[in-house]
Structure 1
Amino acid sequence: MTKKKTRQDNQRERREALISAGLKVVARHGYTKASVQRITDAAGLAQGTLYSYFGSHQAFLNELLPAEGMRLFRYLDQNARDTGDYFEDQRRNFLAVSRFLQRNRHFLRVMTDAECAAPDSYAQYMGSVEDRYLKAQYAAEAAGQIRKCPDDESRVIAEILAGSIGHIALGFGGRPAGDAPGIPDWAADTFVKFIRNGIASGAQTPSFDFDPSQLATHGLRPRSGGTRERLLDAAVRVVMARGFAATSVTSIAEAASLSVGALYTHFESQQELFDQLLDHVRIAMIDHVRAFTHGAETLLEREYRGFCGFFDFLATSPWYIRVESEASVWAPETYRRHFFDLADSYVILLRRSKSAGELVDFEDRELPVLAYVFMAARHYLAARYVPSDGGVRQLPQHVTDAYRRLLHHGLAAAN
């Protein structure tokens, strides 16, 4: 005899049905088009049902990533059990995450877009991921398996590792649109190889002295430009202050001290301007970073200098991170092109370094994995240490020191 469902059973099922429908809608249409009607239609429920359980549309959206994050953590606990070997555990964790993403094709887009659409939930989720990495690091330190780090350096490493697998998944699968990420299994070995030994193992890599303050200009040098550049610069300021969702043609024109007609002379629509905005800020960032990497003799030195240059740029240009993260939602094709343009540029530099006798422990096919890790380090550390309110803040010295040591030596206790 079938047990009669209780009121609590029905409530739980409706809530789960709404969450499941919301995940599918966001995976297909993105957060911006995940309307209450579209979600409740997909769940086969009345619109009022959503408000009964979540209070508001935004409150519902805020629940999506935490719900899926808990499913991921349960999956990892069941399928990537600790072996007592830190590096083997990291390999197993990587493979388990990859399998979870392949079976839950919506997850990557839900997570990526949440940085803009549900920032509090995103920060909470990433903090939970970092804590899992940090716990593993402390246990490995106590067992003598990895070098002992100061607590603040350990946190930086956990932040880098937490962001890296997501970037690797984005890279191998393209920007998620409901399709499987498709991370190859060998990428797990590449990832572990990097965190074990860094990028300088097996090669003669001389030490170098570099004082970032010698080149620091604290933001992009002013560029002369015409009306189009004025409009793009104005759009950057408005997006930083209000976000893409609250940015209008009128607000951009007013910020540029130009007419709305002037904007339409240079851009067919507001969306076209949004689509070009990320290219505009990327060019500014790359120009700035190149001033730092000029004259670098090794890959280690070039990457460290570029890292310092990136954060020097952000010191007075924190809008870059907001434009980048919000573009993933409001200009997704532009964001995808931006992501791969940066990755391809990295891979070209890595191949040159390998041809010059560096990266001897890495095969050519492994170089994109390194590129995605380097990109993730910049993005996630910027999200942690660059204030979102646009205030000027220098990256703490322990962060740059931690990154340099990770690049040079990895985490292995013998290094």
Structure 2
Amino acid sequence: MNDRPADAEAPQSEVARTPRTARGRKTLRALLDAAAEEFGAKGFHATGITDITRRAGVALGSFYTYFPSKEDIFRALVTDMSAQVREAVGPHVKAAPGALEGEREALAAFLRFVSRQQLIYRIIDEAEFVAPDAYAEHYRSTAARIAERLQAGAARGELREDVGEAEAWAIVGMNVFLGLRYGVWEKDADLDGIIDRANRLLADGLRRRDGD
């Protein structure tokens, strides 16, 4: 049993590792889920490691098997949430018949995700100050995936040939704030109507027209 104080940092040699066993993966998942609840409800500074381990049902010493510090689990949580968004959206985009339909399905899947995981906004926003590297990577990787989709659509002749990074970042901003407005602040919104209107906005700006 590790009796290190709850918020003390472990030696740097104690590096978090990907669990090799099902039990280890279950413990890691429990820690990340508990961290999401604790950080999301109270914020980074008001949350202690013991709060996380207590909620996860994990011994304090076991925490340091996976994370050297509270900062490290917060950073890992941001990365994990980014992966959850990617996994929630990706299959719907792949199943869409075209580029514009793919962006519609991406927004729909994202709104469904944030309606279930509303704490993501507080955690990601706080990451700007607590884990700025993970914060930046979250948005950069999201924009890069969208840019890749747009460029693939352009290569197929569905979208304007000049679409790329700037348009991808614009879509990131639109999706983030639509998620905040209609996935978090208002739970009874007509999501299909909102998604259709957003997709029309994209279509008017992105679709290839004769002469382009």
Same fold? TM cut 0.5: yes
Q: Tell me how many residue pairs correspond in the alignment.
A: 181
Alignment partner of 1:299 is 2:99 = yes
Provide the residue aligned with 2:159 in structure 1: 359
Alignment partner of 1:405 is 2:200 = yes
- Choose the corresponding residue for 1:312, options 112, 132, 137: 112
- Choose the corresponding residue for 2:190, options 386, 392, 396: 396
1:101-125 CA-to-partner distances (Å, cap 9, x unmatched) read xxxxxxxxxxxxxxxxxxxxxxxxx
CA gap 1:395/1:277 in 2 versus in 1, 3 angstroms: farther
- Choose the corresponding residue for 2:89, options 267, 270, 289: 289
Provide the residue aligned with 1:338 in structure 2: 138
CA gap 1:327/1:292 in 2 versus in 1, 3 angstroms: same
Provide the residue aligned with 2:129 in structure 1: 329
- C-alpha displacement at 1:395, in angstroms? 4.5
1:229-274 CA-to-partner distances (Å, cap 9, x unmatched) read 1101110011121122212111111110112211111101111111
- C-alpha displacement at 1:294, in angstroms? 3.1
Provide the residue aligned with 1:266 in structure 2: 66
Alignment of 1:182-261 (within 5 A): 225-261=25-61
Q: Percent identity?
A: 27
Provide the residue aligned with 2:169 in structure 1: 372
- C-alpha displacement at 1:394, in angstroms? 5.2
Please say which structure displays the higher CA radius of gyration: 1
Give the counterpart letter for 2:131 in structure 1. Answer: A
CA gap 1:313/1:394 in 2 versus in 1, 3 angstroms: farther
CA gap 1:259/1:241 in 2 versus in 1, 3 angstroms: same
Provide the residue aligned with 1:383 in structure 2: 180
CA gap 1:368/1:274 in 2 versus in 1, 3 angstroms: same
Q: Is the 8 A contact 2:110 2:179 kept in 1?
A: no
Provide the residue aligned with 1:145 in structure 2: none
Structure 2: which 5+ residue stretches go unaligned?
1-23, 206-212
RMSD of the alignment, in Å?
Answer: 2.0
Alignment of 1:18-33 (within 5 A): none
Q: Is the 8 A contact 2:115 2:184 kept in 1?
A: no
CA gap 1:251/1:293 in 2 versus in 1, 3 angstroms: same
- C-alpha displacement at 1:339, in angstroms? 1.5
Runs of 4+ in 1 over 4 A off after TM superposition: none
Provide the residue aligned with 1:140 in structure 2: none
Q: Is the 8 A contact 2:107 2:175 kept in 1?
A: yes
CA distance in 1, matches of 2:164, 2:107: 18
CA gap 1:274/1:329 in 2 versus in 1, 3 angstroms: same
- C-alpha displacement at 1:292, in angstroms? 2.2
1:95-146 CA-to-partner distances (Å, cap 9, x unmatched) read xxxxxxxxxxxxxxxxxxxxxxxxxxxxxxxxxxxxxxxxxxxxxxxxxxxx
Q: Residue 246 of structure 1 aligns to a residue in which SS?
A: coil
Q: Is the 8 A contact 2:112 2:183 kept in 1?
A: no
CA distance in 1, matches of 2:76, 2:102: 28
